[in-house]
Structure 1
Amino acid sequence: MTVALSIDKLRVVYDEFVALKDVSLAVRQGESFGLVGESGSGKSTLLRAVAGLAPVSAGSIDVNGQRLGKTRDKAFYSQVQMVFQDPYGSLHPRQTVDRLLLEPLAIHGFGDTEKRIQRALDEVGLGSSFRFRYSHQLSGGQRQRVAIARALILEPSILLLDEPTSALDASVQAEVLNLLEQVRRDRKLTFVMVSHDLGVITHMCERLMVMQGGEEVERLEAGDLATRNVARDYTRNLLVASEGFVRGA
C-alpha cells in the first residue's frame, strides 16, 4: 500500500533539550495512526515537526513520496493540515467564521469560495447560520468544528490531529470524534492522531506508536491495546492509568 507519510530517524532539539530522538514511522495512505504517551513524551512535537512548527535537527520527512525541506510551502499545506488541541486559542477572535474559512482559500488561489465555504460548514454539521458568527459566540464543540472545516477546506490528503477533543466535554468529544471518522471515510483521508486517551486511540486508529521521553517504546495494532496484548511495562502502566482511580477495599 502507498505510504502517505514517512519519517526516518527524526530528531528535534530545543537548545540542549532533545525532544525527539531518532523517531521513525510510516503511515499508509487512508490509515489512521495514533501516537500515545504521557505529557512530554514527544507525541505533539512529532506532529509539529511534520507541520514545520518544530526545529528538525536531523532525519527526514516525506509526504506522498516528496522529501520535505526545512520550510513548508503552499504545496505542503494543500496536502497536510493540522487541527490543534485548543479550540479557544486556534481561531482568531476578531474574525467571523466566514473570514476564517475564506482566508486559506484566498491564500491558495481557490475559486468558487461561496460554494466551498458552504460545503465545509455543511460537512462539519454547522450550516449557513454559523457563517457570520465570531468565535466567542460559539461553544467549544462548535469552535472545534470550525477548526476542522478550516483544515478540510483546502482538500488535504493528511490531517494531523493534536488532542482534537481533549478540551471538550465528554458528550461533545464523542460527536467530534464521530464527525472526524465520517470525514475520513468520505474523503479517504490519512490521519495522524495524538491523544492521551487510549480509548480514543483504540476507537479511531488502526495502528499506534507508544512514546516516552521522545522515543518509541513499542508499536501496536489497536486491537492489541484493546486486549492488553502489549510487550512493555510502560504501556501496561498507561493502560492501568487510563482506567482512573479505583477505591481500595
Structure 2
Amino acid sequence: MIEVNKASVRMDDRKLFAGLSLSVGEGQMVCVTGGSGCGKTTLLRAVLGFVPLSEGHISIYGELLTPSSAVEFRKQMSYLPQELAFPVESVREMVALPFGLKANRNLLFSKDRLMEEWGRLGLDTGLYDKKVTEISGGQRQRIALSVCGLLRKPIFIADEPTSALDEHSAALVAGYIRDMASRGCAALLVSHDTAFAEACDRRITMGDTYHDRGL
C-alpha cells in the first residue's frame, strides 16, 4: 500500500534524512524509531503529502504521491498526531468532528459503535459527557484513536500513539492497532516505546543508516 523509495528531505539546508526506503503492506504494522530530530514526524507528514521530498518518491497503491494526488490519497488515511488540539469544548464534539469533514461525509457517526471501541481501549463511557479540558492526555489520545478505528480507513498513520500512556493502556493501544491491521489496514507508526515497537511486524530505525528488522 505504502512504498517509500530512497526518500530524502532537506529543510533550511539541513538534511533530516536521506536514502530512506520502506514499505507497509495490507495488514502490517510498521514502526519507525530513532533519536529526536532524525525526521520521523517529517516522514509521516511526507507520506500524508504535506512535506515534499528532496529526492526519491512515495507511492500509495502503486500510484505516485504528488501534490495533486495527495488530496485523494488522504481520503484513504486516518492520522493520529502526537500533539492533540481540537477546536471544540466537549468530548462529544471532539469525536464527531472528523465526520463533518468533506472526505468523511459519506460515513455515519454511531455512538453505540464508538462505545464498543472505547471498551476495547479501557475508556469509561462517562467521558462522553465531559469537557475536553476535564480529561487526561492519555484519555484524549485513546479517544482520538477510537475515532480513527471508527472511520475504518485502509491506511492508519500515528505519531507516538502511546506517549501519554501507562504500560497497561499502551498494551491496549498496541492490541487495538493490531486489530485494525487484522482487518486489512496498513499501519505506519512512529514510537519511542520499545514494547510497542516490538509488538509491530517490522521496526525501522532511522539515523545515519537505516536498520529494517521484521518480516
1:209 is matched with: 204
1:94 is matched with: 88
Write out aligned runs for 1:36-51 (5 A).
36-51=33-48
1:245 is matched with: none
Greater C-alpha Rg: 1
1:234 is matched with: none
2:100 is matched with: 106
- CA deviation map 1:106-139 (0-9, x unaligned): 2225356342x44234213247543343222222
TM-superposed deviation, 1:21: 0.8
TM-superposed deviation, 1:67: 1.8
SS at the partner of 1:131? helix
Structure 1 counterpart of 2:113, from 110, 113, 119: 119
TM-superposed deviation, 1:30: 0.9
Write out aligned runs for 1:118-137 (5 A).
118-125=112-119, 126=123, 129-137=126-134
1:190 aligns with 2:186: yes
TM-superposed deviation, 1:56: 2.3
TM-superposed deviation, 1:69: 1.0
Q: Which moved more, 1:7-16 or 1:174-183?
A: 174-183
1:58 is matched with: 55
Structure 2 unaligned runs (5+)?
none
- CA deviation map 1:155-197 (0-9, x unaligned): 2111112111122223332232233223332x32111121223
- CA deviation map 1:191-229 (0-9, x unaligned): 1121223332112x112222114xx4221127xxxxxxx
**One-letter amino acid of the structure 1 residue matched with residue 188 of structure 2:** V
**One-letter amino acid of the structure 2 residue matched with residue 139 of structure 1:** S
1:167 aligns with 2:164: yes
Q: TM-score scaled to structure 2, two decimals?
A: 0.84
Would the aligned equivalents of 2:31 and 2:189 in 1 still touch at CA under 8 Å? yes
Would the aligned equivalents of 2:5 and 2:20 in 1 still touch at CA under 8 Å? yes
Q: TM-score scaled to structure 1, two decimals?
A: 0.74
1:235 is matched with: none
Structure 1 residues 21 and 114: alpha-carbon distance in aligned structure 2, compared to 1, 3 A threshold:
closer
Structure 1 counterpart of 2:195, from 182, 199, 209: 199
Structure 1 unaligned runs (5+)?
223-249
Higher relative CO (Cα under 8 Å, sequence separation at least 6) belongs to 2
Write out aligned runs for 1:222-237 (5 A).
none
Percent identical across equivalent pairs? 30
**One-letter amino acid of the structure 2 residue matched with residue 194 of structure 1:** V
Q: Distance in 1 between matches of 2:104 and 2:205?
A: 39
Structure 1 residues 124 and 190: alpha-carbon distance in aligned structure 2, compared to 1, 3 A threshold:
farther
RMSD: 2.4
